[in-house]
Structure 1
Amino acid sequence: MEEALEDLMEQEEYDGSDKPQSSLKAPFRSTRMHIQRSSVCSRAYFVVVMVFFHVYILNVIGLLLYVHYNNGPGDLVSEDGAPSASLSDSGTPLPHPDPASRELHVGEYSQSFSLPRIEGIRVGHVQQVSLLPDRTHVLRTMSLKPLLFEIPGFLSEEECRVVVQLAQLKGLMESQTTAPSQGQVESNQPLLSLSTEEVFSLLDLNQDGLLQNKEIVSHSRSQDGTWLNPDNLRQILTGLEACPTGILTLEDFRRVYDVSQRPGQQQSRNLRSRFKQRNKHTWLYQGPGSHHVLQTLRNRLISLTRLPSTLVELSEPLQVIRYENGDFSNAHHDSSSSQSETTCTHTRLAGNKSALTEVSCRYLTMLFYLSAVQEGGESTFPVADNRTYEEQALVQDGVDLTDTQETCARGNIRIKPTAGTALLWYNHLSDGRGWMGELDEYSLHGDCPVRRGVKWMANSWVNVDPDHQQQARYQRLVAQRHRSKSGMEEHYQPLSHSDLHQDL
């Protein structure tokens, strides 16, 4: 320290002379200039760092916005306009997000939404599924054509008893359709006697003497039959499409219409028109305010199928059926083929277009056995896992395989009712893009006659329109209708399937 002080004092004394002082200023300035350049570099480095930091923040914000708006609707919108809730492992719905935070856009919906399907793997394959917090269920593959599963113990004995009691309390109605007696031809004739010219005039809406496609399609069939049924209209449309001009004159129409009226033109008049059954049934609402067992069954179905809750909630109520001694249902399809001249019953309100007839559009069926049967009453799938499906092959040696009263024992798969067991099968194939495709013809099924005892069962259907945009429009229409009805109410009750046609 002393040596440093002495050096400093010597330097100050040396600076006192004129000449040495001037000669030593240059190094001192050089030192100061060095300090200034360092400061400039520090500021430039700070600016660069801040620029990169802001760019990073902007990128993070952009990524969050991208994830937020491109995460996809995932589920269809619920009645209040929000995405439907997902489900926990226990089947309990998770809270809905804020209704105002998300709104369905049809274009976005069509690109991102898909319908889950359970994998069948192979016949006899067993999977473990967790539907309740304290136990697992066995999911056994019964068939791949159609994709059919059996789940023993899906319902407890107490749940079966409650559903039966609720059905009895509600009251059951007859659902009887008798087959024509021997020698009697099944009536499929028009209710009114009209000439060909009169039919042409009724179809010719603008009375220009020519029939166009839109004029034919605009005539819908009523629920109880009318003077022109869908088979006739389909035949007329086929004739119109074969006409080079794309229109039908009276002479053209006379030729086409006469052909459509001949018996036996349709190969089998469609299996749905031959559907015969005898039983009693009722419908049970499963939404908010219903018995907790009914809500539990619906939540369990959602958990098993992994379908959006809103899709299930807007489907049909639970159908409960009672089969007594001799009661049956012939083999039939629960759903229908998608055709240009048909519209789905559950979404017709959003279609705003004419269609020849309304049909049931049921993506899947879940059947619950609520009781055992002492004898008979099996569920039969006549053509399950056949190599090929041909409707003509259903008649073998003069015997119709769809007639469960006569040929139930010949069904490829027959399942005896056991209380608590559930069956699940898909009525439609996948379209290859994750949506509902063509009707699975192998899903033909029926109920064998009950020989001894009483059979209680229930059906739960999930309604889906093959046109995903139509399904989206329908759900938005329901959501808008509900918002207009609920007003400022804090809690709402979703519209049930049975109320939609009356309320919308």
Structure 2
Amino acid sequence: MEFKMVLVFCLLLLTTLKTVVEACEQQGIPSTNDGTCSRDTCINRDVDNEPEDKHNNYKVDADSKETDKNNEDVSIEEGIVDEDEQEGVLEFRDYEFQPLARIIPGKVGDVEEIELEEGKFYKRITRSVNPPIFEIPNYLSVMECNMIISAALYAGLETSAVVGHDINEERNQASHLSEMSRVSEQTWLSSDTMPKTLWRRLVNRLSKLTQLPVEHLEVSEQMQVVSYVSGGHYHAHIDSTDTTDKLHLPCCAQTPECLEVDISTEGFEECCRICRYMTVLYYLSDVEEGGETAFPLADMPDDLFEEKFKDREFQSWHDLSNFCYNASVVVKPKRGTAIMWYNHLLDENGYLGHVDMRSNHGGCDIIKGNKWIANNWIAGTSFRDRNKPSMIY
């Protein structure tokens, strides 16, 4: 049974020969020519408490123990929860939001060494000042990237949605993929659908990166994992609700009645607003060609910026299928790299203010190969609603 558990995990985790070779080399162990691990190799691998078999609903031997890379003794029963046990359960927590931390970007090109794990330093590179955009190379290891992809494949992918848009209707009306606002598949991961030690490690690292407490991250959204294939893209958009005329609306994560409304309808947009203070995007794979993340309006002078919103239906800057490389900031996908930026300005109390429209961004067309990314959206709220219970994802 133990061998079966580890073998299933290896086959799920190491989905291609290339990733197998790279992951095994990183750990200093050999891989076989057919893209699988030998029995001895798999048994010696840190499996982070992965399940025995998908058909056994992720139930594993509760008496078994594994030790993670940080020498933390973890029970196998801390594995993944069956999706049926999670469905339909919304839990809210009394959490008092504190004023939001915000990192001063310095100037474009500045590099700062930051310690995100004990004795382990990462480079934080400023890519833009307005809004602050940072690039963090090698933020995730090859193994962490592969484990996130594996968990996403197990959870199952579905067509990516767009708030306020019927993506199926958009597809039916489009004569070419580039006419669609978003072309990808996605799923959501939480502490119940990822190995516990991996989840804790990522949350602690994210807390250090964002300078926000773990408790704050726990009332932020689940991790979204997205897969793009050839022609896939996401035209320029903002990750939060445009606050021009909706700043009075409550945040969706603090409004239970709105969570039952279809996000593709106007009813959802009139019920609440999405409050994503900041975004941390991770590249889980390299891309042969294309797939860059573009910020068309970053660091744009005020006069030119204002022009971009006049007669917007005749503007082309949001079309990243055709105008990706016109953007002022373009980041090439590289496995393990993270990008972090702020979607909102702060109000006078240090809480969630208006959306920063310069944070418009998107994913350029995949020309060759495919792309895997993940997003962590960090929640914020207004000073008025700082004590209002928030949903635990």
TM over 0.5: yes
Candidates 145, 149, 160, aligned match of 2:134: 149
Q: Closer, same or farther in 2 for the Cα pair 1:172/1:449, shift >3 Å?
A: same
| Contact map agreement 1:347 1:471 (CA 8 A) in 2 | no
Q: Which has the higher helix share?
A: 1
- Give runs of aligned pairs for residues 462-481 of structure 1, distance below 5 A: 462-465=378-381, 467-475=382-390
Distance in 2, Cα, partners of 1:425 & 1:284 = 21
Amino acid at match of 2:383: H
Candidates 323, 329, 335, aligned match of 2:240: 335
| Contact map agreement 2:308 2:315 (CA 8 A) in 1 | no
Amino acid at match of 2:238: H
Q: Closer, same or farther in 2 for the Cα pair 1:275/1:468, shift >3 Å?
A: farther
Distance in 2, Cα, partners of 1:289 & 1:449 = 29
Q: Closer, same or farther in 2 for the Cα pair 1:464/1:391, shift >3 Å?
A: farther
Q: Closer, same or farther in 2 for the Cα pair 1:373/1:367, shift >3 Å?
A: same
| Shift in Å, 1:288 | 9.8
- Give runs of aligned pairs for residues 182-193 of structure 1, distance below 5 A: none
Distance in 2, Cα, partners of 1:472 & 1:287 = 26
- Give runs of aligned pairs for residues 397-408 of structure 1, distance below 5 A: 399-408=315-324
Q: Closer, same or farther in 2 for the Cα pair 1:159/1:105, shift >3 Å?
A: closer
- Larger displacement relative to structure 2 (334-343 or 141-150): 334-343
Is the counterpart of residue 347 in structure 1 residue 254 in structure 2? yes
| Contact map agreement 1:394 1:402 (CA 8 A) in 2 | no
- Give runs of aligned pairs for residues 118-267 of structure 1, distance below 5 A: 118-175=103-160, 177=167, 178=170, 180-181=173-174
Distance in 2, Cα, partners of 1:321 & 1:289 = 16
Q: Closer, same or farther in 2 for the Cα pair 1:275/1:381, shift >3 Å?
A: farther
**What is aligned with 1:432?**
348
| Contact map agreement 1:147 1:426 (CA 8 A) in 2 | yes
- Give runs of aligned pairs for residues 41-60 of structure 1, distance below 5 A: none
| Contact map agreement 2:174 2:180 (CA 8 A) in 1 | no
- Compare CA radii of gyration and give the structure with the larger one: 1
| Shift in Å, 1:311 | 1.5
| Shift in Å, 1:407 | 1.1
Q: Which has the higher strand share?
A: 2
| Shift in Å, 1:432 | 3.4
How big is each residue's C-alpha offset from its partner over 1:332-384, in whole Å with a ceiling of 9 and x where there is no partner? 00012342553311011499xx9933221000000000001000000000111
Q: Closer, same or farther in 2 for the Cα pair 1:105/1:287, shift >3 Å?
A: closer
Task: Give the alignment's TM-score, normalised by structure 2.
Answer: 0.65
How big is each residue's C-alpha offset from its partner over 1:125-182, in whole Å with a ceiling of 9 and x where there is no partner? 1111001223200000000111100000000111111111111111111126336447
Runs of 5+ unmatched residues, structure 1? 1-89, 93-103, 183-273, 479-495, 498-504
Is the counterpart of residue 415 in structure 1 residue 331 in structure 2? yes
How big is each residue's C-alpha offset from its partner over 1:449-470, in whole Å with a ceiling of 9 and x where there is no partner? 10001100000001111x2341
Is the counterpart of residue 296 in structure 1 residue 210 in structure 2? no
| Contact map agreement 1:174 1:279 (CA 8 A) in 2 | yes
**What is aligned with 1:283?**
188
Query: SS where residue 341 of structure 2 aligns?
Result: strand
Distance in 2, Cα, partners of 1:289 & 1:172 = 15
| Contact map agreement 1:379 1:414 (CA 8 A) in 2 | yes
Q: Closer, same or farther in 2 for the Cα pair 1:374/1:344, shift >3 Å?
A: same
Q: Closer, same or farther in 2 for the Cα pair 1:383/1:299, shift >3 Å?
A: same
Is the counterpart of residue 320 in structure 1 residue 225 in structure 2? yes
Q: Closer, same or farther in 2 for the Cα pair 1:140/1:392, shift >3 Å?
A: closer
**What is aligned with 1:442?**
358
| Shift in Å, 1:299 | 1.4
Query: SS where residue 285 of structure 2 aligns?
Result: coil
How big is each residue's C-alpha offset from its partner over 1:364-412, in whole Å with a ceiling of 9 and x where there is no partner? 0000000010000000001110012326457799551101112112111
Percent of paired sites with the same residue: 32
Amino acid at match of 1:331: A
Runs of 5+ unmatched residues, structure 2? 1-69, 73-92, 162-166, 259-267
| Shift in Å, 1:309 | 1.6
Amino acid at match of 2:335: A
How big is each residue's C-alpha offset from its partner over 1:185-223, in whole Å with a ceiling of 9 and x where there is no partner? xxxxxxxxxxxxxxxxxxxxxxxxxxxxxxxxxxxxxxx
